Amino acid sequence: MVKPLTVAQVKKMDGREPLYMIGYYNSNGTPMEYRQNGKIQFWKTRPDDFRIPVKRGLYEYGEVTPSNMHMVSLECPASVPKKNVVKGKYVQSR
């Protein structure tokens, strides 16, 4: 089990680390990997608030914020068998 992203980890990031979505996989079973696509934004009035712009592939963009950081990890999750990936999500075999 991989650990979700924390605010302390975000403050130490330098922009070169890949970010992995927890529970989401490519069609070949490898974990979805995102990379930082800009500067991390912090707010002086809200010290635990941040915004990390991310990119995956050519056309998929998004952002990591405190509301969705529980879905992101700096640790690479283990790959899963191809047959257990349905529409990008891991499905346990019966």
Task: Give per-residue pLDDT as tens, 4-14.
Answer: 999 999 999 98
Portion of the chain with pLDDT greater than 70, in percent: 98
pLDDT band at 45 (very low <50, low <70, confident <90, very high): very high
Q: How many CB atoms lie within 10 A of CB 52?
A: 22
User: What whole-number distance in Å separates Cα of residue 84 and Cα of residue 45?
Assistant: 44
Domain spans of the chain, in order of start = 7-90
Averaged pLDDT for residues 54-66: 94
| pLDDT for residue 93 | 66
pTM: 0.84
Number of Cβ within 10 Å of residue 29's Cβ equals: 15
Strands 41-42 and 89-90: unpaired
